[in-house]
Structure formats: structure tokens, C-alpha cells
């Protein structure tokens, strides 16, 4: 834990000063210099990012200082920002350049509206373009393998407890959540909307079935879309267990030394998630060169180190240390390791899995929890 906090201090103070300069030698090509200079003239890049204050702070400290290009970050859950992007695009308003987030809202909200550009043409630097830099090579979440780039892959329980209220040793599998002592003490991220709550709920539906979820709902669940409230309630002991939120939401409470801890891997196993680690580019971005610079920074070593630390997720870049995540119940796919066959079987964020697993799970949620 001390090492973790030290790393966070280094990130806050050192990255923007050039502590990690893996990209420097590659930034010197004439074409790249021209793109950076054109990005500076455009002034900024506008990106929708995950709702993490830590991530926003780290990126705002580092990217502008590195390239002299401004940033305008809009932190939001995908479901709340996607509609705005679609409406603006249809009205001919080009405001956002980039969206980073989970796949469900992108696949069901952005992809069908034909408002996205292919991502790969924005890969400029060799360390980003080269598939050998990435575990599994280049992985796409959309069937066309063009519009939705997955730069994260990891397994996480996505179940946390207040150890004063419920000991991790008491949890062995999903049936343990039906313990009468947890009645009225379980909080979940609303599975009726796209997001991490839907991810865990749909996995339980896939593994355990609807009858199990009926019994879980009978535990008088606290259901909310406010992830901050859910984390706060767990940290204060108002509830004992949460489902569907993870490290990034709990980071302020972890740093404060409060009794929040991930539960062990359930005996039923884990799915593979990409979390918020997916990149899309809006069609005709208003700041195309600044967007290229940002995309290559984000997918380069510096950006991936910051995203991994800020969000607590497993980058697929092979040169990023992710082993420290295990302390928080998160296992990067490259650290297991999984075969690609196993990955495709266990992943739950692709276009195919959204429609075959996630949407049926959401339908069960609406049935059991109401519309």
C-alpha cells in the first residue's frame, strides 16, 4: 500500500515533467512534428472521459504540459453523455473529438447512429501502431473491428465489502450473497442501464439464472445509478456489500484508510472486462490533429500508465506494470495469462456479447426491479 501511494505521488508530480519519456525518440519524426504543431494551432482536444476525478486530474496535469495542447474533459458515465453526442451530431454540431468509456452505451447508442470514425488511421507512433506492443495484439469490441478499440482487459470481482460489516472470508460464491445477515445491506449499481452494474448483473444471470436473481432482489437491494453514493454508503457502513462498482470509485476511501476491500474471486469464476478502457472517435472531429496527438499519447506508455493508475484497470500494453492491481482484486489479462481463446470466451464487452448476454440480463433486471 505504501508503494501504491508513493506511485500516486510520483504520478501527480512527475509525469508532466517528463519522468516517463518512452515516446520521446519516436516523437521526432517530421510527420509527427507537423501533426503536433497543427494540434497546437487547433488549441485543444475535447474528450468525454470516465467519471474519475483522479484520472481527470492526472491527465490534465500531463498531456497539455507534454504537447502544449489544451484539453477539455467532460467526465460522465456513458449513458448520460451518449445521447448528447448523437443529438449534436444529427444537428450538425461537432463538439466532441473523442469518447473513452464502456462498450454497452457505445454499441447500443453511438454505433447504430453512424457517428463514429475508424480509429486505426489515428495510430501514428510506432509504439501504438505495432500490435506486438499489446497483449493479444489489436483488439476491437465492434464486429467491424474499426470503431471501438479496447486498450484494457482484466478480471475483477466487482464486489466489495466494508470489512467491519462483512468479512471477505465469509464470501466464497454468489450464493453467499443470499445470507439473511445481508438483507437490506447490499447495494448495486443499477443494472437496467449500461455500465458496470449491468456487467456484473448480466454475468450472474448468465451463470446463476433468473431464479437466483429473484432471490437476490428479495434481499432488499439498495439500487442506484450514483456510484459515488454507493461507494460512500459502503465506506460509512450503511451497507455491507456493493456490486457493480470498483477500484476507481473506492480510491478516495482507500487513500483515506477506510474499511473497504474487494471480495475474493467467487467459485463460479470471473468474466473478462474492458471496463471504461475503450476508445472511439467522433466523425469529423473538430480538432483532428489534436485528436491524433491525444490518441497516441493515451495509447502510448505515458497515457496507459496514467489510465491504469487513475482507474485501477489492466492495460493491455506489455510495458505497463499491472501486477500491483492484484492487491485490489483486479487481475490484468496479461498477468493471468489467458489464451486468446479463453479471452474471447470470457469477455463480456464485445458487440456480440452485448446483445447475447448483457441485453438479456438488463431485460431480467427491468422485469425484477421494474422499469
Q: How far, CA to CA in Å, does 242 sit from each of 120, 159, 224, 303?
A: 37, 6, 11, 30
For residue range 226-264, list pLDDT tens digits in order.
999 999 999 999 999 999 988 888 989 998 999 999 999
Domains of the chain: 2-152+274-322 (3.40.190.10), 158-269+351-369 (3.40.190.10)
Q: Is the pLDDT of residue 8 over 70?
A: no
Q: Is the pLDDT of residue 4 over 70?
A: no
For residue range 28-60, list pLDDT tens digits in order.
577 999 999 999 999 999 999 998 889 999 999
Please give the helix or strand (H or E) that residue 116 lies within, else none: strand 116-117
For residue range 167-217, list pLDDT tens digits in order.
999 999 999 999 999 999 999 999 998 878 898 999 999 999 999 999 999
pTM: 0.83
**Separation of alpha carbons 366 and 371, rounded Å:** 5
Strand partners, 238: none
Q: Phi, psi (5° rounding) for residue 115? A: -115, 15
For residue range 174-187, list pLDDT tens digits in order.
999 999 999 999 99
Q: How far, CA to CA in Å, does 358 sit from each of 115, 197, 369?
A: 23, 10, 16
Residues in CB range of 135: below 8 A, 6 or more apart: 153, 316, 317, 318, 332, 333, 334, 337
Buried b (16+ CB within 10 A) or exposed e, 308-334: bbbbbbbbbbeebebebbeebbbbbbb
For residue range 302-354, list pLDDT tens digits in order.
999 999 999 999 999 999 999 999 888 899 999 988 899 999 999 999 999 99
Mean pLDDT of all residues in 59-85: 92
Amino acid at each position: 500500500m505504501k508503494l501504491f501511494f508513493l506511485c500516486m505521488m510520483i504520478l501527480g508530480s512527475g509525469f508532466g515533467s517528463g519522468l516517463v519519456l518512452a515516446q520521446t525518440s519516436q516523437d521526432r519524426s517530421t510527420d509527427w512534428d507537423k501533426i503536433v504543431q497543427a494540434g497546437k494551432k487547433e488549441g485543444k482536444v475535447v474528450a468525454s472521459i470516465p467519471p474519475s476525478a483522479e484520472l481527470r486530474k492526472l491527465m490534465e496535469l500531463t498531456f497539455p504540459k507534454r504537447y502544449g495542447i489544451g484539453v477539455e474533459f467532460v467526465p460522465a458515465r456513458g449513458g448520460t453523455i451518449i445521447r448528447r453526442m448523437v443529438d449534436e451530431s444529427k444537428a450538425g454540431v461537432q463538439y466532441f473529438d473523442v469518447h473513452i468509456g464502456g462498450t454497452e452505451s457505445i454499441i447500443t447508442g453511438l454505433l447504430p447512429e453512424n457517428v463514429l470514425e475508424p480509429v486505426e488511421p489515428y495510430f501514428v507512433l510506432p509504439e501504438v501502431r505495432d500490435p506486438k506492443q499489446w497483449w493479444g495484439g489489436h483488439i476491437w469490441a465492434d464486429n467491424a473491428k474499426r470503431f471501438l478499440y479496447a486498450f484494457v482487459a482484466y478480471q475483477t470481482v466487482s464486489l466489495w465489502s466494508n470489512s467491519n460489516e462483512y468479512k471477505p472470508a465469509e464470501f466464497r460464491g454468489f450464493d453467499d450473497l443470499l445470507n439473511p445477515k445481508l438483507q437490506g445491506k447490499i447495494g448495486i449499481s443499477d443494472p437496467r442501464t449500461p455500465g458496470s452494474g449491468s456487467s456484473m448483473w448480466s454475468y450472474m444471470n448468465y451463470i446463476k439464472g433468473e431464479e437466483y436473481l429473484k432471490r437476490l432482489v428479495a434481499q432488499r437491494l439498495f439500487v442506484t445509478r450514483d456510484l459515488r453514493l454507493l461507494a460512500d454508503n459502503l465506506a460509512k457502513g450503511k451497507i455491507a456489500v456493493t456490486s457493480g462498482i470498483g477500484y476507481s470509485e473506492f480510491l478516495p476511501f482507500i487513500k483515506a484508510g477506510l474499511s473497504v476491500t474487494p471480495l475474493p474471486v467467487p467459485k463460479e469464476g470471473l468474466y473478462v472486462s474492458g471496463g471504461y478502457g475503450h476508445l472511439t472517435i467522433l466523425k469529423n472531429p473538430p480538432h483532428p490533429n489534436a485528436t491524433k496527438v491525444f490518441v497516441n499519447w493515451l495509447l502510448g506508455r505515458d497515457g496507459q500508465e496514467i489510465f491504469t493508475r487513475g482507474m485501477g484497470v489492466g492495460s493491455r500494453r506489455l510495458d505497463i506494470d499491472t501486477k500491483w492491481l492484484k492487491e485490489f482484486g483486479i487481475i490484468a489479462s496479461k498477468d493471468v495469462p489467458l489464451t486468446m481463446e479463453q479471452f474471447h470466451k470470457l469477455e463480456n464487452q464485445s458487440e456480440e456479447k452485448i446483445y447475447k448476454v448483457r441485453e438479456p440480463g438488463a431485460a431480467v433486471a427491468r422485469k425484477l426491479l421494474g422499469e
